[in-house]
Structure formats: structure tokens, C-alpha cells
Chain A
Amino acid sequence: MGTALRFVWFWTFWHWSKESFRAEMLLRGPLNGVAGNWDEWFHHEACAEEQAAIAEVGGSERAQRDFVQWLLHTWATEAVPGDNSEAPVFVLRELARVAPFDRWSALLDFRTRPASAGICAIVLAEESAGKSTDLRRVDAVVLPVEPSVIGGTIAADDFQVEMADLNASRQAVVTVLSGSGLARLLARWVALGPRAYSRWLAVILNIGWFAVAGLLAYLLFGPEPGSWLPPLSATLVALWITLMFVSAVGLGTQIRAAWQTGKKLAAHLEQDEIRMTMPGQLALKGGSAGFAFSLSVLSAIHRAYPHAAKRSWLWQRFFARLDSSNRSRAATGVITPDGRVRPVLIEPKLRACAEQNDVGEIFAPKQRDASQRKLDQIHTTLRTAEAARNQSSSGVAPSPGYAAESHRPRIHRCQHLADAIAKIGALSSPWQAGMNAAALALSGVMLAALPDLGCILLPPPPPAAVAPSSPSPYFLWVSLDTKRPDFFQVVLESQAWVNRRADVAPRNSTPASVRAEIRLVRATRFNEKPNFEEGTVWIERRPRLLLREYAPTERVGRYSLRYLFRLGYE
């Protein structure tokens, strides 16, 4: 018999379920209420042939496995709207609870396997001062809804909670996926986070930044570069621009991908329904489980739409680490719709975590008494008490456990849901933060030095000597028509006057001009009659970089003293 025909009874159930929901006989949609709907159909609607066909499939484990595969791959493709990967798994998990699937060995895994990697809320039982049983696993599942039902809702399945608290958790996730929370996460990642480059590219970029630092240091503090100045400057500028370009493109690409992915996932949250479960059938008082709910919803949205995050390295990294931890995580904190984590009563919750050996990480609000030191104190006190109990009961001193430190949970203090994402995704790297700070500082220096480097690489045109000349016979003014006077200097060479060099600078004394002012001092040789109009004034280029001035290079102008004395008067 073909696979489609072997399992046609499931289609019959599915269509009955859809029609009954449409006719408003069933309250819950076909996906949402699949377990109860199946139970009703199986006991009251399935005909004898269908019952027999179901029994036949249930009769062999191989046929059961075929059914599971068919449901996951064939049925899901046609029946589940919106490419939701979690929905068929959810259906199997739900069906595994009801007859006759509750006896199928092929569904054992779906009966026992937890839905997610495990985020625990720390919810204290009445009058509890913090016990390991106060850690309660929170599971969320994101399901598509029927077109006639408004989505974007969140509901608690087997516990009672204020709807405002649940909605705040959901809204916080939306914010961190596509709102101000994401901007905060991205800003943090840009400043402190590791980059998405391959290892070799990261090494090359790091070497590049070291080269920029080295070149800058050489040019600023090293020996006179002479004719190497232009090629060294060109190398420095090209290297810096390349590094900036690669960094900007890398960051821009990742930010864009993260933004688009977050937007896509947030859109799913706006359309789909979230169902939360927590064991214990509790009626929650207070909103301190909100932080755990949000983390659980984040895990659920990725399980439902794993392909959506594929394009973003940042989200991919976070979700992979969220789902792969072999030790569970616990979270406590009131979460606000904008993603902020508010303080809670923390000490009994830390004690509950310290009692539970499986907890690897604790996410808590940033408050004074939520510290690693405090947690370690509680942990040590508990272990000491435990050791004392063991000793008194057995009469033998316990042997020291040298691996005990590794079991200590780590506490992460978070002001915002984005901080928890950064911690879980290991989006902080001290090395990268150091490199970023260094790159930022180098870029600041480079930006300040760019005009000077530009003048070294593209020298300003040679200036001409212009009026005004000095009104005093004791001074020689060499006025130049240039916008970069600091890149030139003037040299007086004469038999009659003491030779001098002078800087060119803007002078504000009347008449204002850009000029070099040389005080004229007679040379002391009087063996012949001096010709005070004899002499040459040279204009030289004098490159500089920030505070460093290099030796003059080429001479770009030559004027006789006679010409300069008369300039502007004749």
C-alpha cells in the first residue's frame, strides 16, 4: 500500500479538525488543540476501517516509524502554514500523550524529550527559602495560527500568570529582535564583539592594524625618512583605508543581516502564537519569571524558524550557543516591554541555583546583591553544610573534590535582554575590544594626520611671491600666495646679509598677509663695499606630519632681493 493511503486516516482527522474549528464546534485550532481534537476524533468520529488502519500501523514499530517520518516530512509540508519547523514536532509530542499513540514505541522519544535546551525560571514555592525544586523549566513553542485567528498572542498552558507579564516578555523579545533592543545589542557587538571574519582574514586585519601603528610611529618618531617619505605615507594611507573599508563592509553586512533576520523573526512573533509551559501547575505571583520567559521565547522562535537566522552570523552564533549548552541556564528578573531587566528578591533564588548542580549559568538583574561573590558564598555554605551532614551520618571525613570549582554556576548581571543575548552568544571578546580601541585611536590619529599626509602625497602648487613687501628697511617680507603656508619655508642667501631661514605663516599685523618675515642683519665682512640688494630668496617645501617637521625637500621658487625689495612699490 502506498504511504499516502496507509496514513489517509490522519488526513481524515485533520480535515475533520479543520472543519470543526471552522464550524465553531472546536475551540482550539487544528494545530493548537491537536491532542484533544485527536482524542475526540479517535473515540467518537473514526469509523471501524479507520480504527483498523490505525491499529495496523500501531502494530509494528517499523510502520510507526514510517508514520513519524511521513508526518514530519510529507504531512507537515502540506498542512503546516508558514514553514514552521517546530509545528510537526509539536504535533508528534502532543499526539504521543493520547491513545493510541501513547503506546507507540516510535513516539517514545517525543514523549520524553524536552522541547528545548532548557531555561529555568526560579520560582519560589510558598515559604521556600530557596531549594533546587524552585528551579522550574520553562518551555515555549511558537505555532502558526489559522487565518481566521488573530496571532501575536502568548498563553500559559499549565500555569497561571498575569497576562501583562507574559505580554511584556513577548514584547521584550520583539524589541530585541527588531527595535531599540537590537540597536543596543548591535552597538555592544560593534564595540566589544568578535567579528565574523575567517581566521586568516582576522589575522591579516590584525597584522594590518599593527602595521598602521608601526608606520605611524616610524613617521612621527623615527629617523628622517628623506625620499622614503612619500612612499611610506602612501602605504600608510592605503593600508588604513583598506582596513577601514574591510571593517566597515564587514560590520555593515553583519548589521544588515542581523537587522533583517531580527525583523523576520519578529514578524513571525507578531503573526504566530506562543504557548508557554512550566511544570507544577503554579499560579505565579510577581513577574520575576519574565526574564526566563523571554529567553525561552527566543529559543522557541529559532526552533520554529531555524532557516531565518541562517543569514546572520550574529544570530546564528547566539542561537547555536543557546541550544547547545549541556548545562542548563536559570534566569530571574522582571522584564519590561522595552527589554529592561528590573531587580528582584535575589538571595533565595541564588540559594536555589546553588542547590541545583545542573545549573551552569544564572542570568540576574544588575543589582547589588546579585554578584558572583555572593553566589560563591552561598555555594560554599551549602557545600560545607552538606559535607558536615555526610560526615555526621557516615562518621568518615569526606574526601576533597578537586573538581568542585568547575561546578560553580556563573552569574551574569544584565540590565537588558540584549545583555543576556551577548553573554550567551559570547559576543564580547577582550582581544577584539582591545583591537577596536586601538583601531579607533589609530583612526583618530589618522584623521588628524590626513591633511598633512595629503600634502605629502599631493604637494600644494609652488607659491609666487606677492605684495606686500616690508615697509621697514630692517625686515624682509616674503609674502606668498598659498593656502598651505606651513608646508613652505623661505631661505635668504646673500653676501651682504646674514643668511636666514624663516617659516611662512599667516600674519595679522597690518598689512595682513601670508608671509615669512626675516630680520635683516648685516654680514660683518667689510673688505669691499656691500651690495645690499644682492642676494637670493629661495622657497623650499617643508613636509610635516602633525607635530613633526621633516627636512626640507625641493626648492620651488627663487627670487632676487632686488625684486622683493621693490615688490609692491614699482
Chain B
Amino acid sequence: MKTELPIERVLAWRVAQAEADAPPAPRAARLLELSRAWWERWPESFERLVTQLGSIRVNYGHAMVAEPRGRGYPVPAIVARTNVEIGSLAEILYFNVASARLRLRFQVQPPLDPAEPQLEVTFIAVDGPRPLFVAPAVLAPSGEYRVDAELPEALARAWAEIKVTDRMPFRFVLREATPP
């Protein structure tokens, strides 16, 4: 048996094998479907989550004797995982809008168990059940999620003056990140 083969032939054989094993390319209609935001694909699910989000009340009593440690206002959040949706709160730790980019860090309270290394964060407006945009959030070793996303121009202008200690004009729907 001939044991010596040119490397080009080996590579060509490997590519041919990989093509044979690969799933068929999605059709155009499927690609269009995938490019749509999740709330357009599953409007009922979105409506349910937003209703649930609206039921999370964060009431502040102003009888406190000392300023609370965090100073900021927690953001209501729904953690939507497979077969379970949990109402939660997200503490915003860092908020910076510059050059139409949002850099944000938040911590889910209580922490997710088990922690998700990556989440898909949907920003929902507080003044109506309308999705603003969606961005990935990565878990940092310090237990916080960080978001680095480009903002629509209108939002970038509106949010430029927001401080981390202000009430946030959004709520979160946190979903398990879909694999690319």
C-alpha cells in the first residue's frame, strides 16, 4: 500500500468529507426567519414576558435612616430559561454611553444558578411594552455581566446624560444566548 500522499490531496479529501457531512444550507425563507428578532418570531412569548415584567414592582420606601449602599435603582428583569421564567432584579453597576456605544455592567439578584456564561439582553422600554434593542452580555469573573453594544442614534442621544444612580428607562428580558 502506498503510504506517502501529497498534502494537497489529503486536504482535498478532508474538505470533500466535511462537505458530505455538513447539513444542507438553509433556504432563503429560513434565513429571513432567523434574521428577525425573537420578539417578532414569537410575539405571544414576548407579550407574556413583558406582562410578567410589568408585574415586578420595585417599591422604594423613603423612611430609610441611611443612604443605601448601592445608591442606584435595580432594574426589573425576567430571566427566561428553558421551561422556566423567573422574575428578578438587575443591579446596574456601570453605565456609560459614548460615541453611540453603550457600555453597561449589571448583576442579577439573586445570582443565576447555574450562572450563564453568556446572556442575550433585550432592553424593553419602561414607558411601553416595546423592545428597544437586543445585545449580548458576557459573564465576567467577578460575577457581573458586561454589555458592549452599539446604540440606535435616538437612544444614544436620549441616554447620554443618564447616570448609574438614576432610574433606568429600560427593563430587561434575559435569555440564554442562542449559539451562533
Contact = CB atoms under 8 A, between A and B. Distances in A.
A329 B146 CA distance: 38
A94 B66 CA distance: 27
Contacts of B110: 160, 281, 283
Contact of B67 (A44, A150, A281): A150
A98 B164 contact: no
Given A39-B144, A44-B103, A24 B164 contact: yes
B165 interface: yes
Contact of A25 (B95, B140, B141): B95
Given A27-B92, A152-B66, A153-B66, A36 B144 contact: yes
Contacts of A39: 140-142, 144, 146
Given A160-B110, A281-B111, A150 B142 contact: no
Interface in A268-295: 273, 281, 283
A35 B166 CA distance: 23
B163 A25 contact: yes
A480 B96 CA distance: 101
A102 interface: yes
Residue of A27, A99, A102 most packed against chain B (CB within 10 A): A27
B69 A40 contact: no
Nearest to B111: A281
B146 A40 contact: yes
Interface string A86-104: 0000000010011100100
Nearest to B103: A44
A435 interface: no
A126 B103 CA distance: 39
B140 A149 contact: no
A160 B110 CA distance: 8
Contacts of B95: 25
B165 A24 contact: yes
B66 A99 contact: no
A99 B72 CA distance: 26
A97 B141 contact: yes
Nearest to A160: B110
A43 interface: yes
Contacts of A321: none
Given A40-B103, A99-B141, A158-B111, A273 B69 contact: yes
Contact of B71 (A27, A94, A97, A160): A27
Given A27-B164, A33-B93, A40 B141 contact: no
A13 B165 CA distance: 21
Interface in A32-46: 33, 35-37, 39-40, 43-44
A149 B94 contact: no
B97 to A, nearest CB: 10
B136 to A, nearest CB: 14
A27 B144 contact: no
B150 interface: no
A28 interface: yes
B148 interface: yes
Interface residues of A, number: 30
Interface string A130-174: 000000000000000000011011010010100000000000000
Contacts of B92: 27
B151 to A, nearest CB: 15
A229 interface: no
A239 interface: no
A149 B91 contact: no
A111 to B, nearest CB: 11
A98 B140 contact: yes
Q: Interface centre among B67, B141, B142, by most A CB within 10 Å?
A: B142
Contacts of A98: 140-142
A27 B113 contact: no
Interface string A308-329: 0000000000000000000000
A102 B142 CA distance: 11
A145 to B, nearest CB: 9
A98 B143 CA distance: 10
Contacts of A155: 69
A26 B164 contact: yes
Nearest to B142: A35
Contacts of A97: 141-142
Contacts of B171: none
A149 B164 CA distance: 15
A277 B156 CA distance: 37
B128 interface: no
B105 interface: yes
Q: Identify the interface centre among A24, A94, A155: most chain B CB within 10 Å of its CB.
A: A24
A97 B142 CA distance: 7
Nearest to B93: A27
A150 B65 CA distance: 11
Nearest to A95: B142
A24 B163 contact: yes
Contacts of A24: 163-166
A309 B77 CA distance: 46
Interface string B153-177: 0000000000111100000000000
Contacts of A94: 142
A40 B105 CA distance: 8
Contacts of A153: 66, 68-69
Nearest to A273: B69
B70 interface: yes
A5 B55 CA distance: 54
Contact of B96 (A25, A36, A150, A158): A25
A20 B98 CA distance: 13
Contacts of A23: 163
Nearest to B140: A39
Contacts of B142: 35-36, 39, 94, 97-98
A26 B140 contact: no
B83 to A, nearest CB: 21
A221 B92 CA distance: 83
Report, nearest first, the 10 A-B pairs whose CB atoms are least far apart. A24-B163, A35-B142, A150-B67, A36-B142, A39-B140, A98-B141, A27-B93, A27-B164, A155-B69, A36-B144
Interface of B: 66-72, 91-96, 103, 105, 109-111, 113, 140-144, 146, 148, 163-166
9 contacts: A27-B70, A39-B141, A39-B146, A98-B140, A149-B71, A150-B67, A155-B69, A281-B113, A283-B110
Interface of A: 20, 23-28, 33, 35-37, 39-40, 43-44, 94, 97-99, 102, 149-150, 152-153, 155, 158, 160, 273, 281, 283
Given A26-B93, A27-B92, 8 more contacts: A24-B165, A27-B93, A35-B141, A35-B142, A40-B94, A44-B103, A149-B71, A158-B143
